[in-house]
Amino acid sequence: MSEVRTGEFSKWRSNMLDEHALLKVWLWDIGPEKPVAPERPIAPRGQAGDPEYDLAVIELRDKLAGYEARLKEYGRRKDEFADWEIRVGGAIEVLFWSTDARDALANDQRVVAENRQSRRRYYVSSRTRGHSGLANQGLPPDVKPGRAHAENLERQAAGDAALQQARRDDPVFGAGAV
């Protein structure tokens, strides 16, 4: 059977149906960063009528407009962070297809390089094929799985058990089949 590497996480072999599971990539999403409030511009000192003071007041108005925009962004990010903490409570494993995982990791790296966030958000999980030896399950050393991750694992185990029971109970192919 011929094999062609199509990306960092994926290989293509002659039968794609058999290779379906190899296209899955598990990434840790550690959530949004806790936002930092912007600094308010400092008001100029001096007396009205002094040209230097008046110029500084005009510049302050421009700075205040930018400050207002940064405050709105801060409020949005603060709400996003609070929502993440309530719903997820920490890092969570998310299933991606190999192409989507490659895009997510590349975009994450680009955003960090552009200084739009200080740290990466996505990390390859040790659950991903070929990455089983990663320390801390692929998470950064100071990060632990969140509450929602444990809940997801419980749901997966319950679903697997229900599927096994359905297979055993199947009248044609199950344990009671004649």
The Cα 26–Cα 28 span in angstroms is 7
Tell me which residue of 135, 137, 128 sits closest to 95, measured CA to CA. 128
- Identify which of 36, 35, 28 has the alpha carbon closest to the alpha carbon of residue 143: 28
pLDDT given for residue 18 in this prediction:
59
| Residue 112: predicted pLDDT | 95
Question: Taking the domains of the chain in order of start, what are their residue ranges?
Answer: 3-169
178 residues of the chain, pLDDT tens digit each: 456 666 776 666 656 665 777 889 999 999 999 999 999 998 888 888 888 888 888 999 999 999 999 999 999 999 999 999 999 999 999 999 999 999 999 999 999 999 989 999 999 999 998 899 999 999 999 999 999 999 999 999 999 999 999 988 888 887 766 5
* Distance (Å, whole) CA 49 – CA 125: 63
Q: Helix, strand, coil: what percent of the chain each, to 5?
A: 45, 15, 40
Task: Find the helix or strand (DSSP H, E) in which 95 lies.
Answer: strand 92-97
Contact 90, 146 (CB under 8 A): yes
Element (H, E) at 88: none
Give the three-class secondary structure for 9.
coil
As a whole number of angstroms, the distance between CA 29 and CA 90 comes to: 9
Q: What pLDDT score was predicted for residue 150?
A: 92
